[in-house]
Amino acid sequence: MVKVGIVGATGAVGKEILSVLHDRKFAVTSVHLFASARSAGKTLDTPFGPLQVQLFTVEAARAMDYVFLAVSGSFALEHAEAIAAPGGAVVIDNSSAFRMQPNVPLVIPEINGAAIGTKKLIANPNCTTAIAVMALWPLHCHYGIEKMIVSTYQASSGAGVEGMEELFNTTREALDNPDKTPSNKVFAHPLAFNVIPHIDVFQPNGFTKEEMKVTWETNKIFDETNMKISCTAVRIPILRAHSEAITIKTKRPITPADARALLSKADGVDVVDDPAANKYPMPLNATAKYNIEVGRIRQSIVFDEYGLDLFVSGDQLLRGAALNAVLIAEYLEKPYPSKFSKQIK
């Protein structure tokens, strides 16, 4: 008897959670969609058949085994702890509200599932972080990542269904009327045929919160306190897969060939690195795919034998959100150790 509840089932992430649960044959006995009074009573077509949206109450949510929160941080802050309180449900929260709270595990199951312990409120990482760490964890375990520079190529889906629709609509505007600047509502500026180096709010140090999330969350997931990470997070006019150009400085010497061999053993990661055949990670192929892609692995010119440059692409809504959330629930049903563990300090 596994009862699953989803809050935010009409959003981009909520829809994908339903689809992933169904596709992976997660052993649910019933699926419950929760929403505010405004949406309660509506019927939604889902992979589990038509489901009627129920009014969200903490009591109703507590009656579930798992509750996926695919809504805002403020909703999570208000309700997550009450749902997860003793006797309640396991809460897997996709917002950033609890990610950096010391008593809340921030989890990529293949990396640090063991960090969950007996906790019942679990945070799902930021999408950019989640995609990158899939490729970085094996490297960190074997070579010790000391420093890292990340530049992102982030899709419109990071701003939800509204973001994806705005990109489509304004791109058409721009094509039909090239002399007019396209409009914008969801993004700070028009995104069609543009790039915007601004995601989430600016922090006092000049970095955006999105950029600092990569620094903060990677350290927490890897159980480190002092990996130095500088990120530039950039929104670009694509649909739903994020890419990242990453430079790492390692403690032990590393070669591209060794990195490829190691990464080819990792779950959730496809090494796509055959330049001679024009094969490298791209949103075109990473979209709608569970595994992230890593490639363009080369010896860093800046850090020589102690560094690599690489490129990753991953579906923002899957590994970056819904898939990882469902994998957390799967882990709790059947825990497993990480394939990799830290070989060096």
Q: In Å, what is the CA distance from 112 to each residue of 43, 82, 163, 212, 263? A: 37, 25, 31, 20, 17
Least separation, in Å, of the C-beta of 229 and a second copy?
A: 6
How far is Cα 3 from Cα 276, in angstroms, rounded to an integer?
A: 49
Least separation, in Å, of the C-beta of 110 and a second copy?
A: 25
* Residue 222 within binding range of a second copy, rule CB under 8 A: no
How far is Cα 190 from Cα 237, in angstroms, rounded to an integer?
A: 10
How far is Cα 118 from Cα 221, in angstroms, rounded to an integer?
A: 17
Q: Which residues are bridge partners to 194 per DSSP?
A: none
Per-residue string for binding with a second copy, 146-175, x by CB under 8 A?
-xxx-x-x--------------x--xx--x
A 10 A CB-CB count for 53 gives 20
Residue with token string 């903060």: 216
- Pick 41 or 197: Cβ nearer a second copy: 197
> Which residue in the set 94, 112, 215, 338 belongs to the binding site for a second copy (CB under 8 A)?
215
* Residue 189 within binding range of a second copy, rule CB under 8 A: yes
H-helix segments, 42-150: 58-62, 73-84, 109-112, 127-143
- Pick 56 or 143: Cβ nearer a second copy: 143
Question: Using alpha carbons only, what angle is made at residue 280 by residues 279 and 284, rounded to the nearest 5 degrees?
Answer: 95
* Residue 197 within binding range of a second copy, rule CB under 8 A: yes
Nearest to 326 by CA among 115, 89, 28: 28
- Pick 31 or 297: Cβ nearer a second copy: 297
Beta strand pairing status for 30-35 and 269-271?
unpaired
- Pick 48 or 168: Cβ nearer a second copy: 168
**Contact region with a second copy (CB under 8 A), list: 19-27, 108-116, 125-133, 293-301:** 293-301
**Contact region with a second copy (CB under 8 A), list: 2-10, 36-44, 97-105, 193-201:** 193-201
Catalytic residue, chosen from 32, 127, 141, 231, is 127
Residue with token string 């180096």: 197
Residues between 55 and 84 with contacts to a second copy, criterion CB under 8 A:
none
> Which residue in the set 194, 209, 289, 339 belongs to the binding site for a second copy (CB under 8 A)?
194
Local structure of 41: helix, strand or coil: coil
* Residue 219 within binding range of a second copy, rule CB under 8 A: no
**Contact region with a second copy (CB under 8 A), list: 19-27, 83-91, 279-287, 322-330:** 279-287
**Residue 127 catalytic?**
yes
H/E segment holding residue 166: helix 160-176
* Residue 34 within binding range of a second copy, rule CB under 8 A: no
Starting from the edge strand earliest in sequence, which strands make up the sheet with 269-271, in order?
228-232, 145-153, 241-250, 307-315, 292-299, 269-271
- Pick 10 or 230: Cβ nearer a second copy: 230
Q: Mapped to the 3 state alphabet, what secondary structure does 174-211 carry?
A: HHHCCCCCCCCCCCCCCCCCCCECCCCCECCCCCEHHH
What are the catalytic residues? 127, 242
Site of interaction with a second copy (CB under 8 A): 147-149, 151, 153, 168, 171-172, 175, 181, 188-190, 193-198, 202, 205-207, 215, 228-230, 232, 234, 236-239, 243, 245, 247, 249, 256, 275-276, 278, 280-284, 295-303, 307, 309, 311, 313
